[in-house]
């Protein structure tokens, strides 16, 4: 007899998690609570309710978490200009801590003994979900069906559905996408299919959110982004909530062919994985945030942020959002954003997001000093001689001792 009486499942309503509901009921002889989060995946989540009910689920949670997702997770991450391995904007990674948090909260609310998810044993998501869960509830039991069952192919899953009369919207005759996709308000990812060959170019009809740069409008789109303490608060003077900002930037970026990415990344579990991503809004946000920081941040603070960023990105990618090191890094990052206020003008054109203007009342750019014209004594160029000689002192001493510089 299983000691698990009730389990909370992260439920999408799709094939895998519908099979997991029935499998949990049979294998653990337990009650299943389903949790479906709307984090901007672009699909209706309400149909998951009927599917869960058809599987005998009594407690069903369906929640709109878009505002919390962008405000409390995406925005803090973008304050650090975060990218993983030089390219990836962490669209999947940043969604997992929120889902893990709600799984634990619902488990506490319903008196559940365990949580469960549909992540496979090969991927990063199992790590992210479970690290988050253990950080928030150390003694929680986690059930990961993909690490326990032998239903390791689509055919076996479909056969299980037929045997158990599971009502899912899939059939052997229905055409499905050849790609494994994951979407939220920050991005959509594509894996599998021909993408498993890193030499094969992604098919044009794979992309969902953006036109190709070649098919983008021949006239550029200009936008102005207003910042307060490092966060975008308005577009073209219109005040918007964080999730509204990202939605609008996704639309504008997608229309102009911005945000496509094709990379091979190093997963935390050890393997390399090829994936394609669409992050139109995030791509614009990264460009613009660096631009507003360029005129408002002190040089050494900006450089230190750049040194900390790869560590911060790795922490998020590997699933340590709820760790003390992430909180420590976040506190340092947020401290730098006090004067990151102002406006950035961005030109969107055929796949590129180019900063063409930036201004701020807290700007550290002093035109009277930086000018190539007469600076009226604002900067004494003779001072540079002593500066250079002092900084060259160690080099001059070494050279004088016969230590070659080449």
For residue 281, give every residue at least 6 positions away whose Cβ sits within 8 Å of its Cβ, in sequence order, or none: 185, 186, 245, 246, 247, 248, 249, 250, 252, 253, 259
Which residue do the tokens 């460009």 mark? 287
Which residue do the tokens 């055919």 mark? 155
Task: List the domains of the chain with CATH numbers.
Answer: 6-66+94-164 (3.40.50.620), 180-297+336-359 (3.90.1260.10), 375-399 (no CATH)
pLDDT per residue rounded down to tens, the chain (406 residues):
579 999 999 999 888 999 999 999 999 999 999 999 999 998 889 899 999 999 999 999 999 999 999 999 999 999 999 999 999 999 999 999 999 999 999 999 999 999 999 999 988 999 999 999 999 999 999 999 999 999 988 789 989 999 998 876 644 444 567 888 999 999 999 999 999 999 999 999 999 999 999 999 999 999 999 999 999 999 999 999 999 999 999 999 999 999 999 999 999 999 999 999 999 999 999 999 999 999 999 999 999 999 999 999 999 999 999 999 999 999 999 999 999 999 999 999 999 999 999 999 999 999 888 888 888 888 889 999 999 999 999 999 999 999 876 7
pTM of the model: 0.94
CB neighbourhood size of 149 (10 A): 15
Q: What is the dihedral of CA 376, 379, 383, 389, to 10 degrees?
A: -140
pLDDT digits (tens, 9 = 90+) for 19-42: 999 999 999 999 999 999 999 998
Taking the C-alpha atoms of residue 326 and residue 27, their distance in angstroms, rounded to an integer, is 37
Taking the C-alpha atoms of residue 112 and residue 360, their distance in angstroms, rounded to an integer, is 51
- Return mean pLDDT, the chain: 94
Pairing outcome for strands 352-359 and 238-239: unpaired
**Residues marked as catalytic:** 16, 96, 125, 180
Chain centre to alpha carbon of residue 70:
10
């Amino acid at each position: 007899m299983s000691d698990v009486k009730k389990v909370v499942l992260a439920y999408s309503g799709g094939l895998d998690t519908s099979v997991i509901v029935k499998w949990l009921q049979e294998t653990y002889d337990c009650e299943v609570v389903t949790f479906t989060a709307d984090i901007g995946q672009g699909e209706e989540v309400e149909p998951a309710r009927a599917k869960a009910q058809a599987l005998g689920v009594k407690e069903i949670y369906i929640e709109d978490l878009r505002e919390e997702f962008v405000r409390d997770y995406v925005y803090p991450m973008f304050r650090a200009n975060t990218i993983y391995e030089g390219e990836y904007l962490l669209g999947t990674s940043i969604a997992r801590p929120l889902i893990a948090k709600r799984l634990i909260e619902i488990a506490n609310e319903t008196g559940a003994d365990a949580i469960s998810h549909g992540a496979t044993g090969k991927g990063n998501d199992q790590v992210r979900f479970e690290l988050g869960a253990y950080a928030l509830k150390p003694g929680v039991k986690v059930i990961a069906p993909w690490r326990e069952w032998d239903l390791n192919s689509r055919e076996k899953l479909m056969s299980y559905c037929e045997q158990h009369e599971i009502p899912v919207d899939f059939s052997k005759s229905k055409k499905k996408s050849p790609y494994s996709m994951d979407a939220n308000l920050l991005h959509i990812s594509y894996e599998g299919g021909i993408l498993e060959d890193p030499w094969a170019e992604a098919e044009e009809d794979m992309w969902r959110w953006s036109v190709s740069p070649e098919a983008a409008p021949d006239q550029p789109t200009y936008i102005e982004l207003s910042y307060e303490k490092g966060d975008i608060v308005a577009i073209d003077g219109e005040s918007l909530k964080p999730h509204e900002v990202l939605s609008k930037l996704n639309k504008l970026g997608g229309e102009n062919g911005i945000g496509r990415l094709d990379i091979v990344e190093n997963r935390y579990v050890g393997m390399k994985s090829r994936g394609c991503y669409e992050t139109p809004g995030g791509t614009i946000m990264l460009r613009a945030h660096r631009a507003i920081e360029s005129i408002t941040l002190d040089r050494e603070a900006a450089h230190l942020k750049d040194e900390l960023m790869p560590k911060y990105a790795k922490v998020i990618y590997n699933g340590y959002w709820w760790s003390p090191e992430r909180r420590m890094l976040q506190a340092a990052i947020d401290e730098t954003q006090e004067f990151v206020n102002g406006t950035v003008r961005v030109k969107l054109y055929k796949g590129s997001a180019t900063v063409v203007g930036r201004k701020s009342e807290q700007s550290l750019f002093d035109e009277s000093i930086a000018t190539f014209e007469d600076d009226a004594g604002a900067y004494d160029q003779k001072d540079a001689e002593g500066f250079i000689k002092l900084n060259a002192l160690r080099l001059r001493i070494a050279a004088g001792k016969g230590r070659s510089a080449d």
